[in-house]
Amino acid sequence: MATKSRWETNEEIQYFREYLRIPSVHPDPDYEPCVEFLKLQAKLLDLPIQVHYPANDRNPAVILTWQGKEPSLPAIFLHSHMDVVPVFPENWSHPPFAADIDEEGRIFARGAQDMKCVGMQYLGAIRALKKSGAKFKRTIHISFIADEEMGGRFGMRPFVHTAEFKSLNVGFSLDEGLASPSEEFPVFFAERSVWRIYFQISGTAGHGSLLLKNTAGEKLHYIVNKMMGMREQELQKLENNPEFTIGDVTTINLTRLGGGVQSNVVPPSLMVCFDVRLAIDVDQKEFENQLHRWCKDVGGGIELEYEQKRPRVAPTPTDKKNPFWVAFKSATDELNLKISKQIFAGGTDSRYIREVGIPALGFSPMNNTPVLLHDHDEFIKADTYLRGIEIYKKIIAKLAEV
């Protein structure tokens, strides 16, 4: 009980739990309590704060700034998002926005891993560095933004193109990674391109008792077989190479089917949708040409529509040519952290940051921790959280002196 009391009275743990208790949850998040909380944090840290609204008046981008000794140098951008995914409270052993701590020091809350922990660990590290009297060459911006969980439509995607973002003079960005159940810490230097593809298929309509030619159903069968055949090839690549993670291959999943009139009518149209994440070595033009060839080969009458069609974005270099990577690696080496360079399987705001030519790494200091983002009973251990602050102290200090 004494140990639990130690966690419950720790200043940084209390700030973290307070942030977790703000239900900035989809489908209709209210970010104003987050903004007010961050304004208080900025006051406690004696840092200026800006609140921008890049797309509308409901989705803020909050920036705290610690000015460096040489403010003309490109700045360090410590990025996080405020929104969290929906919860199903009946499947949780603790209320999902109570931030309860159990006897093992596990803090249960939606956002405990994804990614309110990282945003508050940045602030914890900045607090400790300021108290120590540290000053750095480069300016440090700490970013809290809306709408990442919905693809950044009203958040980072428009924000990187605003005058307000450009005025921050960002030279390097640190963003979220993933928890790791092993001793290793994954570090993400690239992301696959998200394509959500709808095949709108037209064909001969008629009575269900006939064997009509060129029906939408026949074309659907052909397209599904081709896409699932490609999926099987990627699965084999993944299984045959022990060094590959899911981010190294293209994933293809059938996610929606639609159409039909009634059970005895051959329909004039059908729809099938695939969620595709293109590996960074895929020739995107050739991939799209292949889709069009399949549509033509099966008789035409198929239109392609894209809900998302993200371009290939160059990976962040992880060699000596990138001084920010050298600084990051120097910090993790000095801390004796075992890191693993990976391509992120999902999508984060880093894709938009890299897209405008800014190097970015994804990193969450949570090893020996089950991966529970978007899951029931999401938690992080208090000691893991506090160690993460110490890790960020070293990393931020190195990056800000590049």
Residues noted as catalytic: 83, 148
Take residue 108 and report the two structure tokens written for it: 């249960």
Burial level of 43, CB count in 10 A (0-12/13-18/19+)? exposed
The two beta strands, 360-362 and 170-175, are parallel
CA torsion, ordered 151, 359, 140, 109, to nearest 10 deg? 40
Q: How far is CA 252 from CA 80, 235, 278, in A?
A: 28, 10, 9
Q: What is the 3-state secondary structure (H, E, C) of the chain?
A: CHHHHHHHHCHHHHHHHHHHCCCCECCCCCCHHHHHHHHHHHHHHCCCEEEECCCCCCCCEEEEEECCCCCCCCEEEEEEECCECCCCHHHCCCCCCCCEECCCCEEECCCCCCCHHHHHHHHHHHHHHHHCCCCCCCCEEEEEECCHHHCCCCCHHHHCCCHHHHCCCEEEEEECCCCCCCCCEEEEEEECEEEEEEEEEECCCEECCCCCCCCHHHHHHHHHHHHHHHHHHHHHHHHHCCCCCHHHCCEEEEEEEEECCCCCEECCEEEEEEEEEECCCCCHHHHHHHHHHHHHHCCCCEEEEEEEECCCCCCCCCCCCCHHHHHHHHHHHHCCCCEEEEEECCCCCHHHHHHCCCCEEECCCCCCCCCCCCCCCCEEEHHHHHHHHHHHHHHHHHHCCC
CA torsion, ordered 264, 270, 276, 278, to nearest 10 deg? 130
- Side chain identity at 200, as an amino acid letter? Q
Please state, in angstroms and rounded to a whole number, the distance separating the CA atoms of residues 148 and 157.
9
